[in-house]
């Protein structure tokens, strides 16, 4: 085995190994969440995943963006088939090991090139939309700093990877045309053949160096990008699938009934004997660890696209609430807890208050526009409601007007101060 | 007006009879002046269609929706269990309500607490009555008028009922003009999530101002509502814009078309 092959195998193992390590960290972060019963209705869940994640149904609501996103998605999916060959070539020192497939191989390479070109066009449009056009959801306060850089880095990495792929093919094709040893003719190059003439005046040695250099940069770039995922908002390319699978299948208006409260209320109404050994857990959510693992997975799946925030009536009318920020804060807090020790329950440093303010939570109208808008089934509303539960049931700290409303319900069975005896007054009014 | 005869469940039970449906009036429908008109209009339509219906009267209590959306799960479940006890004691099978918040809570959140009923929003029920030939509607006063319909969040997005209210409006021979955001993209009126009962957080405008401006953009003569809270919010917004569109519930439009 040559030095190149050894080096390749080492880099490949390192790249995949570190990715596996980060996947484990991610799973540990998500598992901080509480258990939740989501193993029912597997058929419907699978169908939802096919529709939303594979089919990107909701992305197609804006046709231009939907099609471009589909191109990038299919492009990466299809071009990564090429990885199989790159790995074989890298480990065994072969050149285009799969070229024995003949016409099918030529067609595949041609298709990869066409997709690479389409991905470049899409990514450029995305970059322009994000940076040059005044699209409100790309200019929200929560995107300042790292989130904006992260988004642009992802676009730039994708662009560079596509250029590396096409450049590698162009140099390869030049060498094939010259009949250089080891570079036997294989593949069809509808896009990169336009680049090949650049190498006309170059010596064989230089073109081989370029071909090798780009080939290495391409595979190293892919492994690098794979490992960048964990540190970026880009995890949706993996998590969109489980996220859509485990998303709620119920009508959006159905909010979960808190089971702990049900036990308490039944005991209070003497419908059930209270279990003295029952440990009462915290009502609602003060910190990310009070949420379910599905809610935490939601947070890690978020791509910060901001469709939720753009649809939010509170956000549109200048309130502090942004459903996207709820998800980003939840993710950042969950990562903080899982990656460090000792900060878990330090007073004042919890998801509530340190990350998400009460003003944000009380601005929500529970209208479900954010849930409807999310292309991959994230539910920011369920987190907002869980946090309101903590504020009201653990701290009795609801806004004064709401306390008055709740007192009315307790006393008169109506949110206003009217007497139940007057419920039929409308008949004779 | 005085001919309106309403029977309670207790009266039905005393006579040894059971009504076809229970009309869940709701707190707004019982106490809010605008909503009371909707309650009356719907009751007249039920009479007109010869539907045997009962109300709970003083035995009705808040479903607990605003408590739940405020985060007070305790109060919600206390209300729910008390209501379920009443409903189950009367062996209620079908409930119809003019309030999407009551509708959503009764339909989606009561079952896991022991309350299993067929729950219908009044627009669904009226549509059924027309389809079954029990209620007839012709345009009359609304012929040629422009009507826009505001989707309540708890009827639309929350339960995906977009067509029933529109089908009723279509019966009026009026011109249904949609706002730029409608159905699943409809903008909230600003009252959901217990916002009805508190001042909004600070921002640059109130949500109902934004939404009622959209309604006025359609140049509609009438803004049709299907929720007592939306009704109030849209009416307030239009008043603040000095708009001339009238805000009315779909049931009121049908009742007016029938001259009830």
Q: What are phi and psi of B250, to 5 degrees?
A: -55, -35
Q: Say yes or no: A279 and A239 in one domain.
A: no
Q: To the nearest whole angstrom, how far is the Cα of A164 from the nearest Cα of chain B? A: 42
Which CATH code of 3.40.1710, 1.10.8, 3.40.50, 3.30.43 fits the domain covering B136-257? 3.40.50
pLDDT tens track for A205-258: 999 999 999 999 999 999 999 999 999 999 999 999 999 999 999 999 999 999
Cα A350 to Cα A292, A334, A342: the distances in Å are: 16, 10, 12
Confidence of residue A359 (pLDDT cuts 50, 70, 90): very high
**Which pLDDT score, from 0 to 100, does residue B1 have?**
44
Q: Is A37 part of any domain?
A: no
Residues 160-219 of A with CB under 8 A from B: none
Q: What percent of chain B has pLDDT over 70?
A: 98
The answer to whether B180 contacts chain A (CB < 8 Å) is no
DSSP string, A15-60: HHHHHHHHHHHHHHHHTTSBP----S-HHHHHHHHIIIIIS-GGGG
Q: Say yes or no: A226 and A357 in one domain.
A: no
Domain limits at A261? 249-412
Report the largest interatomic distance among the alpha carbons of chain B, rounded to a whole angstrom.
Answer: 58
Q: Is A110 part of any domain?
A: yes
> What's the mean per-residue pLDDT of chain A?
93
pLDDT tens track for A294-331: 999 999 999 999 999 999 999 999 999 999 999 999 99
Q: Say yes or no: A260 and A238 in one domain.
A: no
The answer to whether B91 contacts chain A (CB < 8 Å) is no
pLDDT tens track for B137-194: 986 789 889 999 999 999 999 999 999 999 999 999 999 999 999 999 999 999 999 9
What distance in Å separates the CA atoms of residue A123 and residue A147, rounded to the nearest whole number?
17
Q: How many domains does chain A have?
A: 2
What distance in Å separates the CA atoms of residue B123 and residue B98, rounded to the nearest whole number?
8
Instruction: Find the Cα–Cα–Cα–Cα dihedral B81, B87, B91, B93, rounded to 10°.
Output: -110
Q: Which fold has domain B9-129?
A: Rossmann fold (3.40.50)
Residue A214 contacts residue A167 (beta carbons within 8 Å): yes
Read off the DSSP letter of residue A341. Answer: S
Residue A19 tokens, joined: 């990715």
Pairing of strands B222-225, B246-249: parallel
Q: Say yes or no: A276 and A229 in one domain.
A: no
> What 3-state class would DSSP assign to B67?
helix
The answer to whether A397 contacts chain B (CB < 8 Å) is no
Q: Say yes or no: A135 and A200 in one domain.
A: yes
Residue A378 contacts residue A243 (beta carbons within 8 Å): yes
What pTM does this model have?
0.95
Domain boundary residue among A190, A224, A243?
Answer: A243
- Tell which residue, A190, A203, A199, has the closest CA to residue A171: A199
Q: Is A417 part of any domain?
A: no
The residues spanned by each domain of chain B are 9-129, 136-257
Instruction: Read off the pLDDT of each residue in A168-181 and give the average, rounded to a whole number.
Output: 95
Q: Is A180 part of any domain?
A: yes
Q: Is A239 part of any domain?
A: yes
| Predicted complex ipTM exceeds 0.90 | yes
In chain B, beta strands by DSSP E: 21-24, 53-54, 94-97, 118-121, 146-149, 175-176, 222-225, 246-249
Pairing of strands B94-97, B21-24: parallel
What distance in Å separates the CA atoms of residue A382 and residue A392, rounded to the nearest whole number?
15
pLDDT at A345 over 60: no
Report chain A residues whose CB lies below 8 A from the CB of B34: none
Which CATH number does the domain housing residue A289 bear? 1.10.1060.10
Q: To the nearest whole angstrom, how far is the Cα of B208 from the nearest Cα of chain A? A: 10
Q: Say yes or no: A266 and A359 in one domain.
A: yes
Q: Which of A398, A401, A415 sits opposite B199 (nearest CB)?
A: A401
Q: Is A395 part of any domain?
A: yes
Q: Say yes or no: A233 and A373 in one domain.
A: no
Residue A380 contacts residue A326 (beta carbons within 8 Å): yes
Cα B53 to Cα B7, B92, B251: the distances in Å are: 7, 11, 16
Q: Please indicate whether the domains covering B9-129 and B136-257 agree at the CATH topology level.
A: yes
pLDDT tens track for B42-57: 999 999 999 999 999 9
Q: Say yes or no: A292 and A238 in one domain.
A: no
- Tell which residue, B49, B43, B61, B48, has the closest CA to residue B7: B43
Q: Is A422 part of any domain?
A: no
Report CB contact under 8 Å: B71, A367.
no
Residue A315 tokens, joined: 């956000």
The edge-to-edge listing of strands for the beta sheet with B21-24 is B53-54, B21-24, B94-97, B118-121
Q: Say yes or no: A237 and A261 in one domain.
A: no
The answer to whether A342 contacts chain B (CB < 8 Å) is no
| Residue B146: strand pairing partners | B175
Residue A100 tokens, joined: 């024995």
Domain boundary residue among A201, A218, A243?
Answer: A243
Q: Say yes or no: A165 and A230 in one domain.
A: yes
């Amino acid at each position: 085995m040559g030095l190149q092959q050894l080096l390749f195998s080492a880099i490949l193992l390192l790249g995949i190994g570190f990715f596996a390590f980060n996947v484990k960290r991610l799973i540990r972060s998500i598992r901080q969440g509480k258990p939740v019963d989501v193993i029912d209705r597997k058929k419907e869940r699978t169908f939802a995943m096919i529709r939303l994640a594979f089919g990107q149904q909701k992305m197609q609501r804006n046709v231009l963006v939907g099609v471009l996103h589909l191109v990038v998605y299919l492009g990466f999916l299809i071009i990564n088939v090429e990885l199989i060959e790159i790995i074989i070539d890298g480990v065994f020192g072969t050149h285009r090991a799969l070229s024995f497939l003949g016409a099918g191989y030529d067609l595949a390479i041609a298709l990869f090139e066409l997709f690479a070109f389409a991905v470049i066009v899409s990514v450029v449009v995305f970059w322009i939309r994000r940076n040059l056009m005044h699209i409100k959801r790309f200019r929200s306060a929560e995107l300042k700093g790292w989130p904006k850089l992260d988004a642009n880095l992802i676009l730039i990495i994708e662009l560079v990877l596509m250029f590396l792929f096409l450049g590698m093919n162009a140099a390869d094709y030049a060498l094939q045309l010259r009949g250089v040893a080891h570079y036997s003719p294989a593949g069809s190059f509808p896009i990169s053949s336009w680049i090949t003439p650049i190498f006309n005046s170059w010596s064989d040695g230089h073109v081989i160096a370029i071909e090798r250099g780009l080939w290495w940069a391409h595979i190293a770039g892919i492994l690098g990008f794979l490992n960048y995922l964990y540190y970026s908002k880009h995890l949706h390319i993996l998590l969109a699938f489980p996220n859509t699978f485990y998303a709620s299948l119920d009508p959006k208006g159905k909010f979960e009934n808190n089971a702990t409260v049900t036990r308490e209320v039944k005991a209070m109404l003497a419908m059930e004997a209270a279990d003295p050994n029952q440990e009462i857990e915290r009502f609602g959510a003060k910190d990310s660890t009070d949420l379910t693992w599905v809610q935490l997975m939601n947070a890690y799946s978020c791509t910060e696209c901001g469709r939720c925030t753009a649809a939010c009536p509170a956000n549109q009318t200048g309130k502090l609430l942004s459903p996207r920020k709820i998800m980003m804060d939840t993710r950042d807090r969950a990562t903080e807890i899982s990656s460090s020790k000792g900060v878990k329950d330090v007073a004042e440093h919890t998801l509530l208050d340190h990350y998400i303010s009460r003003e944000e939570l009380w601005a929500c109208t529970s209208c479900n526009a954010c849930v409807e808008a999310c292309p991959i089934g994230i539910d920011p509303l369920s987190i907002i409601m869980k946090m309101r539960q903590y504020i009201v049931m653990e701290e009795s700290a609801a806004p004064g007007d709401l306390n008055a409303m709740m007192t009315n319900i307790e006393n008169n069975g109506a949110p206003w101060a009217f007497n139940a005896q007057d419920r039929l007054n409308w008949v004779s009014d | 007006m005085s001919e309106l005869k309403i029977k309670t469940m207790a009266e039905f039970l005393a006579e040894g009879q059971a009504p076809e449906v229970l009309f869940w009036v709701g707190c707004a429908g019982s106490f809010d002046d605008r909503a009371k008109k909707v309650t009356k209009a719907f009751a007249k339509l039920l009479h007109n269609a010869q539907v045997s219906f009962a109300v709970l009267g003083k035995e009705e209590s808040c479903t607990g929706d605003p408590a739940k959306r405020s985060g007070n799960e305790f109060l919600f479940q206390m209300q729910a269990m008390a209501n379920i006890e009443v409903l189950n004691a009367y062996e209620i099978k079908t409930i119809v309500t003019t309030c999407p918040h009551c509708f959503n809570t009764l339909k989606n959140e009561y079952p896991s607490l022991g309350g299993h009923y067929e729950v219908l929003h009044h627009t669904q029920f009226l549509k059924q009555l027309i389809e079954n030939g029990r209620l007839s509607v012709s345009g009359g006063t609304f012929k040629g008028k422009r009507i826009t319909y505001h989707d309540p969040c708890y009827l639309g997005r929350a339960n995906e009922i977009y067509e029933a209210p529109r089908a009723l409006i279509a019966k009026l021979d009026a011109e249904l003009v949609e706002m730029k955001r409608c159905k699943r993209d409809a903008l909230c009126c600003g009252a959901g999530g217990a916002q009805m009962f508190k001042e909004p957080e600070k921002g640059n405008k109130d949500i109902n101002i934004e939404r009622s401006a959209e309604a006025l953009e359609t140049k509609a003569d009438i803004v049709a509502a299907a929720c007592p809270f939306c009704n109030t919010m849209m009416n307030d917004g239009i008043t603040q814009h000095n708009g001339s569109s009238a805000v009315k519930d779909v049931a009121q439009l049908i009742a007016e078309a029938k001259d009830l």
